[in-house]
Each structure stands twice: as C-alpha cells, then as structure tokens.
Structure 1
Amino acid sequence: MKAAVARCAAQGCTPEKDAAAALALSHAQFLMGEYEAARRTLWAALDRNKASARQHPLPYAALLRARVKIDSHLGEYEDARSGSIRQMILLRDTLLAKDHNAIAARVQLADVNAHIGQSRLAESQYRESLNLALAAGDVPVEIATRFRLAKFWTPKGNGPVSTSDRRKVAEILEPIITAVDDERRKYSVPARMIIARLAERSGNADAINAVLRDAPPGSMTAPQLLSFTPVEFKGRSATCQDELEGKSSANGYRTVDKVNTACHDPRNLVSPIDVDKQWINVGFWITPEGTVRDIEILQRGSAYVGDWSKKVERAIGSRRYAPWRPQSGGPGLYRIERYSMTAPYFVPTGSTLRQHSTQTTLEIADITAW
C-alpha cells in the first residue's frame, strides 16, 4: 500500500487511483494505531489533488471524510469540523443540489457539530438536510436523517422522557412507521422500537414486547441497541473540581479565561497522559436474544496506560439489544469496535501552545468489516 501511494506521489495518478491508494493506506495505519501517520497520508493526498478537486469532487470528498474520522480520534475536533465544512461546500458547489452525495455531506457536517456540542446548529442542519432529501426524493438520506433527529431529541441516560420529547420523536419517525413503500417500510420496526424504548423509560414496561409481538416474522434481522450504561470519565483531575469558564480564541480553540483557585496549576488543566496513543480493540458476540457475551480485549495500543478498558468492557456488557433473527441462522453477530481515548485541545492562558485538556472523550469505530 505504501508503494502504491509512493508511485502516485512520484509519477502521478488519476485522482480516483490516488485517493483509493491513500484511503487504503490510511485505513491500515488507523487499524495499527498509527493515527498521526494516517493523518499525514491523507493530508498529502489532499494536497496532491487540491488543484483537481472541483473536476473530481467525489474522490477528494472521500479523502476529506476519512480525514474527519482520523481527526476525531486524535481530539482534533476543530479540524474535523473544518474538513466536514470543506466537503459540504465542495459537493454543494460542484454537484447538483439534489445529488445524494451533496445532501449526505450536509448530514455528516451536522453529525460533527452534534458531536462537539453545537446542538442548535446541528439540529438546524439536520432539518435542512431532511428538507433537501424530501425535495430530491432521496429516501436513504431521508430515513438516515429522521433517525438522527430522533436520537438527537432523545435525552441521554435511562430515566423518564418528557411527553414533549416523546411527541417530537414520534412525529419525526411517523412517516417511516406508516409508510407503504418497501424502502421505508423495512425500517418501520426499528422506528417503532425507538418509540417503545422511550415509553419503557417512562414506565410502560411492556412497550418493547408489544412491538416485537406485532413485528412481521423475520423483520428483525439485525441487532438494534435499546439501552446501555455509558462509559464515564472524570471531566478533570481530582484537584481541579471547580468549573472552568472559557471562551473561543481567534483561531477557534478554547482558551481558559477564568480559573478558580483550585485550578491555577496548569497541570490540573492538561491531560496527564498521552491520549494520542490510547486505543483498544474490543470483540464481542451479540446473541439473537439481545444479550452480549464473550467480551474480550483483542488489542491495546503500545502506550496504553490505566484501566479504562475495564470501563469499556462493563459498558459493552450492559448493552441490551432487541431480540433478532440472524439471516445465516448462526449464533449471532461478532462485532469488533475500536475505542480511542482522547481529549479536545485548548490553549491555556499565558501560552501559545495547544494542549489536550482533561475533558476525556471516547471515539468509537466499528471495524468489524475492515
């Protein structure tokens, strides 16, 4: 793979071949935990193909999408957001307004904004994407966006859900639940399951079983996650419990502007470990009954420290899926997930150097099929 990229760099390739070679190499580097190397591979390919991006927008957009994923696993959330914006603008300006790829790029940008806490902007972009998908007759993007909005409006945790939130989720999923066309109708049971889960959280213990009883035979052919206990990390070091107030600096990074007395020591603001090299691969089975078994850590990053993998194992073990029927008739689905422990960057007061904060986050990627 390195040889293919080197040939393109030295001799020149078509944008399609160059992008394919760079994507294959960066994926391999990602799987090996070489995030910075994967990022450099993608940056170099983007630079080589910059001049032809408008003539060949799809391979260039694929490079940007891959870069967004790598940036997120490195805690480079501002770069992830800028990459999503670049992709959206490129496809918007070079493809037809109703093109599937152009609308899907807007959805990805909304995903990134939702992930970094830009909630109002993300909701607006999801709604805009849904309207564009409806106008274009793009059913796959319409369905994906409806499910995203339903998730967006679902309060985190396992506690009761307000009537207004349940109503919003039900309204956005209703066109899927009541659809008569095959393309939407095959997602009817998963949509009903989401509403049933909200009802269960609010006290209706039989809501999910009612959906399963009414579901057509064989309609649940893939596991659908119903509930889980999330992985939780302390937001900051034990000696820095007070809230930090901050503002965005001109370069877009968060700058600590006012720090309570307990937090004056910069060591209490900066991540004490090298979060760039903290990753694990976890394998587990999802049974037809909806339980998880045989959880095991398959790989750890070479610089792994601490016991946070145990928290991940407990969180996976707490998952509850809806009962389903494997199409192959086997024992279930074996899944492998990559977990990267990272943290966003910020610039401490009095410094010009970016640092990883103590606001630890987990980035997750399903690498089963990679």
Structure 2
Amino acid sequence: MVSVLFLLLQSAAMVPPNAAAIDDDGTITVTATQLPDLAAQAEACAKQLCPTRKDIAVTVAYASALFDEGNYRDAKRLLAGAVTRTRDAAKAEPIAVSTLYQAQATLASHEGDQDIVRDATWASANVLREGLPDNSLPQLTAELRLADWQLRTGDKTGAIARYADIAARAAAAGHGAIGDVASLRRAVTVESTGRTSEAMALLDSLAARPGADAAELRRAALSTAARLATRAGRTQQADAYVALLAAEPGGAEPVLISSAELPRPGRPDTAPFLDGVGLDRGARGSDLAGLRWVDIGYRILPDGRVADIRFVRGSARLAWAQPLLGYIGSRRYTPFAGSDGVHRVERYTLTADYMVPSGSLIRRRLRNPRFEVMPMTVSAAAETGH
C-alpha cells in the first residue's frame, strides 16, 4: 500500500518547491505564477508539518490571492489554521509568526470580525516584544499598528500617547522614519480631538526639518496640513501650505492635498444596497449587513486632477459602490511631470462588524457598516493610510 505521506510528498513535488518564501525581515516573496501552485503548497502544509517559515509564507501568499479574488471566507479559515499550527513557534520565528498575525488582522478588518482584529493585532506586537530586542524596527512597526487599532476603536487618547511613545523610542534607536510616521498620525489624531493649534504646530515642526534627507517628510507634513486645513474650511491656510509644498523639490509620486470624506453607508435596514448576507453568505435577514467588494482604478493627471475612474472588478450588482466614484473624483494631488499620469487601483469592502443581535444566538454582520479601503498598487498606500 502506498503511504499517505508518500502521496503528500509526491503532490508537493509537482509544484515549485518554494512557491513563496519569507525572509528575516518578514517580507514574503511569491515565486509561483499560478494560483493552483500556491493552493497546492498551502494544502500540503495544512496536512503535514511544514517548516514554520514555509508554512506562513505560502499560507499568507495564498490567503492574499483569495482576498484579491473576493474570497474572504476561505482566506479567513486558511489564516486561522496557520495560526493554530505555528503559534508555538513564535519564540524561534518571531518575525514570521508576527507577519501571520498581521495578515490575519488585516483580512479580519475587511471581513468584519473585530475580535480577530483585536487579538491578532495584540498577538503580533506581543510576539515581537518577547522575541526581539527592545525598540527594534519590527517591534516599533507592530506598536504603530497597535496605535492605529486603538484609533479605529475610538481610543484617541491611547492612540495619541502610543504614537508619541513610538516617536520618542524610534528617535532614540535611530529609526527616524517610523518615528516620523507616528508623529504624522499623532498630528492628525490630535486635530480630530479639536486641538487644532497643537496639531498644526506639530506638522509645522515636521515641515521645517532641514536637510535633503528630510524632503519626503516635509512633503508629507505639508500635504497633511493642507488636507486638514481644507477639510476645516481654512482656505487661506490651505493655500499657504500648498504653496510651500510646490516650493519643495518634487517627489517621485503625486501627493494628495485634498479629498472629500470617505462615504459611510447607511443603516443596513434602511440602505437598499446593504442587502442581507449572512455569516456564510446563505442566511438572510433584514438585520444582516452584506459583504461586498470592488476594485476601483483611476488615473492621476499631471495637473493633479483625477480621471478615468472605473470599476475594475468586484461583487455582482455594483450600484452600492457608486458613491465611491465621486469620492475618488473629488481628490486633488500635487502637479507632477509626466504625460500619461499615474494609474492606481484601490480595494473597497462594504462590511460591518459581527455582533449577536438581541433574541439570537448567531453572530452576524450588523454593527458599524462602513467601507474598508486597501491600496492594490503600492503608491496608493500614502493616501489610504496603509
């Protein structure tokens, strides 16, 4: 009789030996060119014990591919299985395991499971606290994600304090770039609490950083200040920041300087585009918020306007996504050199958080209906906050 182990090894040998790999910094490189190759290795690792790095690399890569296709449910299950298999290896492979938790938290934020978002975000940070030297770059990056999570859950005071702590620790450890990101996010969060003068003073101090190596920071600080001033209706102040931004040496990418607010979907029982979809996309009811997704492409013109906004792919019946076209079209970027413009794609997920409604025992997407956003092109990350 042929052993099951032999069949598994034979199956694995039919696909590239390393469809995906993860390095010492947690960066995953995908070498497989076909989705079935990733699926085969992910399935093999689920059935037999793969080395931790290989297991995490192929699992995260395959889950990412499933996410790209809109298959959030299977991606969620895949990542949960990998967490169960590899969490005991956190001491030996802290960066790889932390990367897995990070992927799980990101997927869960779109899928709506805030329990997983919370647990995975904290686990990602705790693994690095225990496994790496204090104030290492991966550790500080995980702390930044924790601060972002605090902000998303309404703990602005905690987020502001953590952003400030990260900036101080990063400066002391020589990781200035991550500290600058924390300071920029602290300024935006402080401004949202009504402490406008404090926020703008922080942005002004960042924009005044001297030296050629601080040019990118100055552009980020000035564009952030311009967006905040525009949003608050302080047109003269916004124009002054835009003028300062124009005087800075141009960066490689256009910088967002103004935008309308991201639309918020209405309550699921009043908004027709939030038709009911249950936990497994089977159960239906008026109190269930539907999970929908769409990739939207657009082009930033050299004069800073946005054009060619279009649906690239997504769920069926995209009427619910129409407000997003106007939102993207409202953006204005800094002018830049280039005849054809810059093309970008962003993923929008119409989702809501799970909760157990009164009189039921079943968790359903019901609370806080919203659009989650993710850049599908690297250069879009600055505008979406990823």
TM-score range, shorter chain: 0.7 to 0.9
Contact 1:223 1:324 in 2 (8 A): no
Contact 2:227 2:257 in 1 (8 A): no
Q: 1:277-328: CA deviations, max 9, x gaps?
A: x111111101121111011111122xx4462111111111111222233xxx
- AA at the equivalent of 2:240: A
Contact 1:81 1:113 in 2 (8 A): no
- AA at the equivalent of 1:206: D
> Which structure 1 residue ranges, 5 or more long, are not aligned?
157-161, 240-266
- C-alpha change, 1:183 and 1:96, in structure 2 (3 Å) is farther
C-alpha distance in 2 between matches for 1:219 and 1:319:
18
1:189 aligns with 2:203: no
The aligned counterpart of 2:244 is: 211
C-alpha distance in 2 between matches for 1:333 and 1:213:
18
> Cα offset for 1:359?
3.1
The more displaced of 78-87 and 12-21 is 12-21
- Three-state SS of the structure 1 residue aligned to 2:100 is helix
Contact 1:236 1:358 in 2 (8 A): no
- AA at the equivalent of 1:341: L
1:335 aligns with 2:367: no
**What pairs up with 1:261-276 in 2 under 5 angstroms?**
270-271=287-288, 273=289, 275-276=290-291
> Cα offset for 1:354?
1.7
C-alpha distance in 2 between matches for 1:11 and 1:230:
44
The aligned counterpart of 2:199 is: 169
1:310 aligns with 2:347: no
**What pairs up with 1:49-198 in 2 under 5 angstroms?**
49-155=86-192, 164-165=195-196, 167-198=197-228
C-alpha distance in 2 between matches for 1:105 and 1:189:
25
Contact 2:121 2:146 in 1 (8 A): yes
Contact 1:129 1:145 in 2 (8 A): yes
The aligned counterpart of 2:256 is: 224
Aligned match for 1:37, one of 74, 77, 88: 74
Q: 1:209-253: CA deviations, max 9, x gaps?
A: 42244223x3463332422242132235349xxxxxxxxxxxxxx
Contact 1:229 1:318 in 2 (8 A): no
The aligned counterpart of 1:351 is: 360
The aligned counterpart of 1:286 is: 300
> Cα offset for 1:358?
5.4
C-alpha distance in 1 between matches for 2:164 and 2:95:
24
Q: 1:122-180: CA deviations, max 9, x gaps?
A: 22222222222122121121111112112223449xxxxx6x41x22233234432223
> Which structure 2 residue ranges, 5 or more long, are not aligned?
1-37, 272-284, 380-386
- AA at the equivalent of 2:247: D
- C-alpha change, 1:348 and 1:333, in structure 2 (3 Å) is same
TM-score by length of structure 1 reads: 0.81
Contact 2:301 2:340 in 1 (8 A): yes
C-alpha distance in 1 between matches for 2:181 and 2:346:
21
Aligned match for 2:334, one of 300, 322, 325: 322
- AA at the equivalent of 2:243: A
C-alpha distance in 2 between matches for 1:210 and 1:86:
44
TM-score by length of structure 2 reads: 0.78
C-alpha distance in 2 between matches for 1:224 and 1:324:
12
Aligned-residue RMSD, C-alpha: 2.5
C-alpha distance in 2 between matches for 1:9 and 1:306:
35
The aligned length equals: 327
C-alpha distance in 2 between matches for 1:305 and 1:83:
33
- C-alpha change, 1:330 and 1:44, in structure 2 (3 Å) is farther
Identity between Structure 1 and Structure 2 (%) = 27
The aligned counterpart of 2:276 is: none
- Three-state SS of the structure 2 residue aligned to 1:87 is helix
> Cα offset for 1:27?
0.7
Structure with bigger RCO (C-alpha 8 Å, 6+ apart): 1
- C-alpha change, 1:170 and 1:359, in structure 2 (3 Å) is closer
The aligned counterpart of 2:376 is: 367
Contact 2:295 2:347 in 1 (8 A): yes
- Three-state SS of the structure 2 residue aligned to 1:69 is helix
C-alpha distance in 1 between matches for 2:254 and 2:165:
29
C-alpha distance in 1 between matches for 2:48 and 2:264:
49
C-alpha distance in 2 between matches for 1:220 and 1:171:
27
